[in-house]
Structure 1
Amino acid sequence: MRQLIARRLLQTIPLLFFVSIACFALVKMAPGDPVLSFVTPNMHAEDIERIRHNLGLDKPAYVQYWLWLKELFQGNLGYSLVNHQPVMDQILDRLPATAGLMGSAILLAVLLAIPLGLTAGANRDRWPDKLVNLFSYIGISVPLFWLAILLIYLFAIHLHWLPSMGMRSIGVNSAMDVLKHGILPCVVLAFGFLSVYVRYIRSSTIGQLKEEYVQIQYAFGSTKKTIVFRHVMKHVLLPVITLLGMSMADLVAGAIVTETVFSWPGIGSLGMTAVKGMDYPVIMGITLFSALFLILGNLLADILYGLADPRIKGAR
């Protein structure tokens, strides 16, 4: 296991390097010019070029990348072109909000998917299965932004039960206020993953119920509920760990959409603001953090799978 962790961590360095090159190239090829956000109607061409020089945008692209890479090795992601604040500080300030939202969404999705998927698989082609399948199809088909707008209209505008945006109310500093603001974003982000996990657990449950150990448990007089939630669940949940690792990319993308719609002060909304303003250093910093999160998330999934299944642990 230690060799696996060391090998994966070493692979992280060249992978992040290639991610940074690809991101920098895409940013440079994108239309737009960040200097235009500083230009006024009466500004002379010399002043515009002076701004471009001060921002370091008058140098060749490979020189700009090399200078950025040198700063990165020193633990510095540069400064924002828009607000001139350190990129690292901005990301670290917003990281807890994003981590809390994504962690809560995944936890909610898994906790609901386990009983729903097991129940649907144990009652194949009956009304519980059909009801859960209908719910899953809706979750897979509905776009996140549309679901977010629908929930905002229903619970924030029409019923006035929950706030529609932000993370805190003005003048209020309590955990309960943060919890109320986080309910809608968490539900929206978890909904799509819940549908996928339910379908996967349902399919695995149906397959496990055909195994010989299930018939043996029936012969010993065990009830179907006991077999499903005590024996089948152990075999079903192991592959779910791998599924969680595979969902990390969709989780990051979904968090960006969710944070943008709900004005959640996380890395996703910061990234959208940076894209609109062509803020290259912020875009690069967020891309690297997202790539690092995906790599570490998949590594954690492999480690948990190895700890849960001694056969996998021994093989590695």
Structure 2
Amino acid sequence: MGKYVLHRILQLIPILLFISIVSFALIRLAPGDPVLSFVTPNMSPEDVERIRQNMGLDQPLYIQYGLWLKNVLAGNFGYSLNNHRPVLTLIVERLPATIGLMGSAFLLSLLVAVVLGLISAVYKNKLADRVLSLLSYIGISLPGLWFALILIYVFTVQLHWLPSMGMRTIGVHSAWDVIKHGIMPCLVLCITHVSVFMRYIRSSTISQLEEDYVQIQYAYGSTRRTVLFRHILRNVLLPVITLFGLSFAEIITGAFIVESIFSWPGMGSLGINAVFGLDYPLIMGMTMMSSFLLIFGNLLADVLYGLADPRIKTMR
């Protein structure tokens, strides 16, 4: 497994290099000119051109990319054009908030989906299964933006139970305050993934319940709970781990939208501000960090696959 992980890590290098080339070209070719943010009515064309030179935007595209890549390899992601601070510092400051939100959403999605999926499979075609199936279809169909606005209207505007903006209340430094601020963003990220995970777990559990080893365990006197959680659950988790890697991208992109709606101080709101402000260095830094997180998510899914099924480690 160690050699496999090392091999996969080495594969990250050409992938990230390719992503950086495409992203750099697309960002530079996009409409807009960041120099205009620094231009005043009293500036002469010479002053504007001097600003462009200071920002390095007067060089050909391949030279700009070469200089950027050289700085990145030296650990320098450049300075934000709007915040006038190192890009890496800005990302590191915002990364814990995004990871905390994403991690909470993942854990909650998996825990809830496993329980509901097993219940739905055990009570196949009965009332509990039909209710859970209906709820899962509704969850899959819910638009995230609409659901976020509904939560804000109900729990903030009408009931005054939960705050709708930020990560902390000014002057309050308790953990419960952070949890209250994160409940609605976490629910928006969870709702679709719980529904999808639950459907896969239900389908996989139903097929496992028909296997011979389940009947053998019942013949040995094992209870339903023992069979479900000790024998079936491991086999059921394999497709869920695959979904985990595939849905990592959706969680990250969804976090960008959710963070903007709830003013969550993470990478999402930072990235949105960078795009609107044409902050090229910050956009590139955000793109590379997001790409790394996506690739790391798939690598983590492969490692978890090997831990869940030792036969996979043997083949590798």
What is the TM-score with the length of structure 1 in the denominator?
Answer: 0.96
Q: Tell me how far 1:221 sits from its aligned partner.
A: 4.5
Matched position secondary structure for 1:247 = helix
CA contact (8 A) 2:121 2:203 kept: yes
Q: Tell me how far 1:222 sits from its aligned partner.
A: 4.3
* CA deviations over 1:12-48 (Å, ceiling 9, x no partner): 1111100000101111121111112222334332222
Q: Percent identity of the aligned residues?
A: 61
Give runs of ≥4 in structure 1 deviating > 6 Å. Answer: none
For structure 1, which runs of at least 5 residues remain unmatched after alignment? none
Superposed, 1:23-102 pairs within 5 Å as: 23-102=23-102
**Greater alpha carbon shift after TM alignment, 63-72 vs 169-178:** 169-178
- For 1:196 and 1:220, the matched residues in 2 are separated by 34
For structure 2, which runs of at least 5 residues remain unmatched after alignment? none
Match of 1:265 in 2: 265
- For 2:252 and 2:127, the matched residues in 1 are separated by 34
Superposed, 1:229-240 pairs within 5 Å as: 229-240=229-240
Match of 1:136 in 2: 136
- For 2:227 and 2:260, the matched residues in 1 are separated by 44
- For 1:47 and 1:127, the matched residues in 2 are separated by 73
Q: Tell me how far 1:177 sits from its aligned partner.
A: 1.1
- For 1:176 and 1:265, the matched residues in 2 are separated by 17
Match of 1:147 in 2: 147
**Greater alpha carbon shift after TM alignment, 88-97 vs 205-214:** 205-214
1:111 aligns with 2:122: no
CA contact (8 A) 1:122 1:228 kept: no
Match of 1:314 in 2: 314
Match of 2:203 in 1: 203
Aligned pairs, how many? Answer: 316
Match of 1:254 in 2: 254
Tell me the amino acid that sits aligned with residue 146 of structure 2.
W
Tell me the amino acid that sits aligned with residue 111 of structure 2.
L
* CA deviations over 1:212-250 (Å, ceiling 9, x no partner): 122223434445444334432222123322221121111
- For 1:225 and 1:307, the matched residues in 2 are separated by 23
**Greater alpha carbon shift after TM alignment, 241-250 vs 110-119:** 241-250
Q: Tell me how far 1:293 sits from its aligned partner.
A: 1.0
- For 2:308 and 2:206, the matched residues in 1 are separated by 22
Q: Tell me how far 1:282 sits from its aligned partner.
A: 0.6
Match of 1:124 in 2: 124
Q: Tell me how far 1:127 sits from its aligned partner.
A: 1.5
Match of 2:159 in 1: 159
Tell me the amino acid that sits aligned with residue 267 of structure 1.
M
- For 1:74 and 1:102, the matched residues in 2 are separated by 29
* CA deviations over 1:118-143 (Å, ceiling 9, x no partner): 11111222211111111111221112
Match of 1:286 in 2: 286
Describe the shift of the 1:131–1:41 C-alpha distance in structure 2 as closer, same or farther (beyond 3 A).
farther
Superposed, 1:2-13 pairs within 5 Å as: 2-13=2-13
Tell me the amino acid that sits aligned with residue 286 of structure 1.
M
1:297 aligns with 2:287: no
Matched position secondary structure for 1:288 = helix
Q: Tell me how far 1:89 sits from its aligned partner.
A: 0.1
- For 2:47 and 2:174, the matched residues in 1 are separated by 48
* CA deviations over 1:46-66 (Å, ceiling 9, x no partner): 222222122111111111111
**Greater alpha carbon shift after TM alignment, 150-159 vs 212-221:** 212-221
* CA deviations over 1:134-172 (Å, ceiling 9, x no partner): 111122111211111110111011100000010011122
Match of 1:243 in 2: 243
CA contact (8 A) 1:204 1:236 kept: yes
Q: Tell me how far 1:85 sits from its aligned partner.
A: 0.7
- For 1:83 and 1:232, the matched residues in 2 are separated by 52
